[in-house]
Structures are given as structure tokens and as C-alpha cells.
Amino acid sequence: MARNTGWKMETTCHGLVLACLLTLFTGLGAAGQICPSPVLTSPLDGAVNVPVDADISWNQVPNVPGYIISLGTTPGGTDLLDEKFVGSATTYNPPVGLPENTTIHVTITLFDFQNGNIEIPCESESFTTTSITEAPACAQLNVPSNGQTDVNPATNLSWGYVPGAIGYRLTIGTSPGGGEILPTTDLQNTLSYDPPAEFPPNSPIYVRLTAYNLLGDATSCTDFSFTTSELAALPGCTFLISPLDGEINVPVTPILEWAPVPGATGYRITVGNSPFTAEILDNVAFPPVTQTGILELEANRTFFITIVPFNEAGEAIGCEQESFTTLQGCGPFFDAMTGDLITLNPMIDIPDTISTCASEFPLVYTSPDVADGYRWFRIDVNGNETLISDTQTVSFAGSGSYRYEAYTLIPQSGNLECPTSKVFTVESSEIPVITSVDVTEQANGIRIAVNASGSGDYEYAIDSSSGPYQDSNVFTNIPYGTHTLYVRDRNGCGIAEEQIVQDLTLEGFPKFFSPNGDGINDYWQYIPPEFNGDITLVSIEIFNRYGQFLVRIDPTSRGWDGTIKGMDLPASDYWFRARSSTDQEMTGHFSLKR
């Protein structure tokens, strides 16, 4: 929403929700600004007996470029001042003062005119002015000044505010005290007068200015006078041709062009980041040309420009301020033609990890992306970056962290770079080394866990070098026998293999026994198979299903009869742990049947 604040602004939302949402996330709302508490610093909220000419000040909010102030006689009211934009200032002096003995409600609105005119109104605060107890002092004519000569006949009159005054009476004549040009006229509470016609040339002009309030007129005041110059025509105002007033997506190195003005001998140009500043050009005089270049401006920003023609008679009067907005840099920004959000940064397709074999360093890698330029950086352990390539191809000297950047150039804005960046890792792999193989018995075979070391990313297979391979290093329910295990580096750096033979000793432990006195399987004991690998057992321990130790038996005895201290144990599953003379440990389970 554009506001009538005495200057022109073109909203960038175009009435579309998508563009406005983008502005909300990139502008004032994204920074998380909130109204201060309290808002006012002078006068304070609730203050009384405040002078009618008091300045109104408020707390500054970080990252807020502008403020709007409203004054009213009710909370949130605007009957005294309707939403006045004051730029980045945090103090406002009401030019005609404040009414006496009145509660004044002040509403401050945070306003980001650089990012879509986002507004955050703060809660109103109030104070009460003092009562006026005497007539006002005399008013002073400011323009022209008293006694000034060679005043342009087309000049306007202006004077300063008198505290306590509620109006001014003005008389203008060609003789002292005369009213030939303007009989005594009540101008009410204004501070300037624009004569309907030019003053007579080469003539003395006499001005009587009387301030008044409900208690009376100012007394013992002095009249003012000035002398006009030869009649000369002031130049008229001009307007922007390029860029047009309110134009968006203007290049950041624009050529300013304006309409020529007949009779102008030059132009004064002011360009600023706000309606009240002049950071770019500060009332700089140009000869009678109609265009000029500007050094590179900031992207995605609104600039305010005033062009005032002048000649020997003076400067043009009442020239309006105009504005334009530079292109949104790299975006995203709204394309009014397509209704899309446009981003000028390139798309990149660099993986999170680039892997290679340690023997292949230095590794030469070429970006698959299409862009106008490329940069590659190595990141050290402290986070510092070092540029290692500014072409599409890079050579990695070793593993580590890197950052890749691809960018496009926008020629119409001074070759502005629009980059896309990503941090990734280069990993080196090597052929694995099998360090151990763990075998344990299961109900339907054996469980094999193969352990490998190395700096690679490995996968595992059994009995075939061509796979299938799996991520897990554990194989379950494998039949007894001879097996070959394979560990392969995913990056093709090699395959390690190792053959194992099923541990036959596990076959010597019965799967069940039935101690019922029939002379068959009445005892549970290890029975060495025909081939036991020369393994000699030194102890066998038996546990119940809950892991509680029950009994230890001698491998050379008849075995366990299913009792503890003469008591029969119930039919159930039991576990054993056997240890060999070479300190090899074997575990398994069996069933007691009754």
C-alpha cells in the first residue's frame, strides 16, 4: 500500500500474495523487529503539563529504516496528524505546535519502505499539554528575510511557529501598513502564504504578520519589508524519462534522463536512499543537459530523486520527488509478465561426498554445472578457506572439506555475480583388511561376523566375489561347512577375502537329553566328533534360560543328569559355555525333556 506522505512510492507487491509474502520474509518481518516498550522517550507516556511546542521523541528500533507518526485526540487517532513519514528520525517537532490542555495520543509505526512498505504499528501512548495563560509573542518572517533585496517577484512567504499561537493574520502592501496587495487576512494556523500573483517588480513590499490565540493578539510587533528584483520567469519543473517514476527492476548503473525545461540554465539533482537523505547526490548542480550517469547503486533498493531546474531568476518552485527501484539482484524476485518468482543463481549438482582411492591423488574433477564462473576452496580445521581453482576443473590434493561456488553474471547490472555455494567432503578409500571373523552357533546354523579395517566405505558378501553385497558385516543362519568371506570397497579400490571352516566342535554338544532312567540319553555331555581339530575341553558350565549358573561338569565325566542337589530340574532350554585348553570359548543351548 503506497501512502500519501508528501513523496511518491511504488509498491513492489503488485497486489499479488506471492510477491508480498516474499517481501515479508526478506524485509522487516524477517528481522524480527518489535515495538519498543515504552515507545515514547519524551514526553513520557502519561506526562502532564507538556509545553505546546514540545518535540516528540521515541526509542530507535534496530534495522528499521523509517517511522510513521500519527497524532490524535483519541487512541490511534489521526485528526491532528495523519500518518506522517519522518524517515529514520526518532524525533518530530509539530510545525504548528499542539493544542493546549489536550490529551495527545501518539502512534508510532515501524515502516520499511525499502522492502515492500511493510508496517508494524505500535500501541498508542499519550500525554497532556499545558494550558496557555497569555497571548503569543510576535511572529518572525523567514522567507524572504527582513530587508532582503533582489527578491524574485514569484517568491512565497513563510514564517516560524510561535508557541501558543493558534493562527496568524497577514497584511501585504506596497506602503508601510498598507494592504494594497493583501488586506488583513486570517490564515489560521499555517506558516506560509503563496500569493495568487507575482509581486510588483523593483518594488518595496511591506508585510505585517500578527500571531494570535484565544487570549489575544501579539502586541508591539515590528513590520517587515523586502525589495523585489526585475521581473524574470522562473523555470518550470521537469520529470524523469528514464527510469520512469516508480519503475522497478532498474539496472544498478542507470543513466538518469529527464525532460528538458525551456529557459533552464542548469539542474540541481538530489538522490538518496530515503525521501529525506542525499547519500548518492546532494543538490549537485548540472549544466543544461538532460541526462547523467550514476556510479553503481545497491541492488534491490528504492532510490528517491528530486530534479530542480534553475536560471538567473532562481530555482523552480514545488518540484516533486520521484523514485525508482533497482533490480532485485540475484532474486528471488517477482516477474510481472509471467507471475513467477525468478532466481538468477545457477543450479548446482555437486554431491555431498566425492570418493576416490588413496592411490589416485591428486584427483582431477570437473564440475557438471553450467555457469559463468566457478571457484573451489579448501577448508582447513579452523574453518579458514583457501582458493584452489577458479575454473570449472579442480585438482584435489587429498581428502578433507571443500567449498564449491558457481555463479552467473548479470551484465545489465555491472556484471553482478549471483553465486550458489555448497560445502562437500572429499574422502579417500583403500583396499580393506580383514582383521577377524567371529563365529557363533544358532538354531539353524551359524552366525558369522567379519571385521575389517581401512579408510574406505565397505560392503560385504559371502561365497561369491560378485555378490550380492550387503551393508552389514553379519551373516546369519549359515550352514556348517567351508565359506569364503568378501569385503569390497565401494569406490573400487579392491576386495579382501578370507576362507573359514565351520567350527566342528560345536557338533559334539547334544541338542537334547531325557534323564528318565531308560538308559537312553540320560546324561548330557560333550561327545567329541570324529574330527575335532585337536581341541581339548577343560570345563563345561550350564545355565538356565535366565542366565543363572547351575552346575559345572567335568568333560571326562558321564555328564549332567538334569538335577541340582538331588532335585529334578524342569523340562526347558538350557545354555552351556565350554572352554578349551587353548582358552577357546564355545557357547550354545540344548533342551531337557521329561
pLDDT tens by residue, 495-504: 999 988 765 4
Q: Are residues 145 and 53 in contact, defined by beta-carbon separation less than 8 angstroms?
A: no
For the record, the C-alpha cell of 434 comes out as 580383514
Any idea which of 26-30, 190-194, 311-315 has the lowest mean pLDDT?
26-30
Q: Are residues 304 and 323 in contact, defined by beta-carbon separation less than 8 angstroms?
A: yes
Overall average pLDDT of the 374-389 stretch = 96
Residue 10's pLDDT is 31
What SS3 state is found at 40?
strand
* pLDDT of residue 213 exceeding 80: yes
State the chain's mean pLDDT as an integer: 85
Overall average pLDDT of the 533-559 stretch = 88
Predicted confidence (pLDDT) per residue in 43-98, tens digit: 999 999 999 999 999 999 887 878 899 999 999 999 999 988 887 789 999 999 99
Overall average pLDDT of the 206-213 stretch = 96
* pLDDT of residue 207 exceeding 70: yes
Number of C-beta neighbours around residue 334 at 10 A: 23
Q: How far apart are CA 266 and CA 125, in angstroms?
A: 48
For the record, the C-alpha cell of 457 comes out as 566405505
* pLDDT of residue 352 exceeding 90: yes
Q: What DSSP string describes 486-553?
A: EEEETTSS-EEEEEEE--GGGGGS-SEE--SSSSSS-SB-----S--TT--EEEEEEE-TTS-EEEEE
Predicted confidence (pLDDT) per residue in 566-576, tens digit: 899 999 999 99
Overall average pLDDT of the 548-571 stretch = 93
What SS3 state is found at 18?
helix
For the record, the C-alpha cell of 371 comes out as 555457469
More confident residue, 198 or 170: 170
Domains and CATH numbers, the chain: 17-128 (2.60.40.10), 141-227 (2.60.40.10), 240-325 (2.60.40.10), 353-429 (2.60.40), 433-502 (2.60.40), 505-592 (2.60.40)
pTM value is: 0.46
Residue 11's pLDDT is 30
Q: How far apart are CA 117 and CA 23, in angstroms?
A: 9
Overall average pLDDT of the 412-436 stretch = 86
The CA-to-CA distance between both ends of the chain, in Å, stands at: 91
